[in-house]
């Protein structure tokens, strides 16, 4: 780590090689943060992204970790600590989706959705808190979903995992506030990312019509909301869930 890197804050973005995670990682890196990009499977994408950002003189590190595994998560935080000293800002973005009738969901699918979407938030948060508490400073932004607020048919467990994040955010903010740590969440609506690539153009158009703005969101728009909540400009905001959904009408 260079002397310059020591002066910077370090952000960890989970699920940071695509969609909202990639847009968020890029935004932090371009604004001078030591940026750690976590991924589980996208080795080639992670390498390409690291090479691109590092080539611009930005401070970037990629780490392959399944955040649903607490042991792997602890090892990831140790690696980051060796490189940058610790995590000042945590963006819990990693997530998986599952669509179908509840009675058709297997035990393994249920566990995977809950273990990644909520378990990953818990594992990463628990791992970074000692450093943040010791410094009396820190910011955590969790990526939930509007389905965590309103629920979605045929996405019951996904909705439940995202609702758990909202409850966790509100509760943790009260627990760690005296330690100078802020905890917030964003709840994106329909965003044009790989996760929604399963929908055809007609379906995406219909979903856009459910927004008061008559459009779907972009990963960059969500990233800017995350960046705002994470930074000191939102220093008196904690325990909140910001919907980034164009005001879904139904």
pLDDT score at 203: 62
pLDDT score at 197: 58
Contact 65, 76 (CB under 8 A): yes
- CA gyration radius for the chain? 17
Confidence label for 120 from pLDDT (cuts 50, 70 and 90): very high
Residue 78, Cβ neighbours under 10 Å: how many?
11
Mean pLDDT of the chain, nearest integer = 93
Q: Are strands 89-92 and 241-244 parallel, antiparallel or unpaired?
A: unpaired
pLDDT digits (tens, 9 = 90+) for 39-73: 999 899 999 999 999 999 999 999 999 999 999 99
Whether pLDDT at 28 is above 70: yes
Confidence label for 153 from pLDDT (cuts 50, 70 and 90): very high
pLDDT score at 247: 86
Given the residues 33, 39, 131, 158, the one annotated as active site:
158
Helix (H) or strand (E) holding 29: helix 19-30
In the residue annotation, 131 being an active-site residue is answered as no
Q: Closest Cα partner for 136 from 185, 176, 186, 192?
A: 176
Residue with tokens 């609702």: 163
DSSP summary character for residue 217: B
Helix (H) or strand (E) holding 119: helix 119-135
C-alpha atoms less than 13 angstroms from C-alpha of 178 in its C-beta half-sphere = 2
pLDDT score at 133: 98
d(CA 43, CA 77): 19
Residue 23, Cβ neighbours under 10 Å: how many?
23
Whether pLDDT at 1 is above 70: no
pLDDT digits (tens, 9 = 90+) for 169-225: 999 999 999 999 999 999 999 888 666 556 567 666 666 667 888 798 899 999 999
Q: Give me 154's structure tokens.
A: 């045929």
């Amino acid at each position: 780590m260079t002397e310059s890197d020591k002066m910077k804050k370090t952000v960890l973005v989970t699920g940071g090689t695509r969609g909202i995670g990639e847009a968020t990682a890029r935004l932090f890196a371009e604004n001078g943060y030591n940026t750690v990009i976590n991924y589980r499977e996208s080795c080639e994408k992670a390498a390409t992204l690291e090479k691109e950002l590092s080539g611009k003189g930005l401070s970037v590190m990629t780490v392959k970790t399944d955040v649903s595994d607490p042991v792997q998560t602890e090892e990831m935080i140790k690696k980051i600590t060796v490189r940058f000293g610790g995590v000042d800002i945590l963006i819990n973005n990693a997530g998986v989706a599952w669509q179908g009738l509840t009675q058709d969901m297997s035990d393994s699918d249920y566990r995977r959705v809950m273990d990644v979407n909520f378990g990953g938030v818990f594992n990463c948060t628990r791992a970074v808190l000692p450093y943040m508490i010791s410094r009396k400073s820190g910011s955590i932004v969790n990526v939930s979903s509007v389905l965590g607020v309103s629920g979605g048919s045929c996405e019951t467990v996904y909705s439940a995992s995202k609702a758990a994040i909202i409850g966790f955010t509100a509760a943790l903010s009260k627990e760690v506030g005296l330690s100078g740590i802020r905890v917030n969440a964003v709840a994106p609506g329909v965003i044009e990312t790989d996760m929604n690539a399963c929908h055809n153009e007609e379906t995406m158009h219909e979903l856009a019509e459910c927004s008061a703005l008559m459009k779907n969101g972009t990963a960059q728009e969500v990233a800017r909301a995350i960046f705002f909540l994470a930074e000191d400009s939102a220093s008196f905001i904690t325990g909140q869930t910001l919907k980034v959904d164009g005001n879904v009408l139904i």
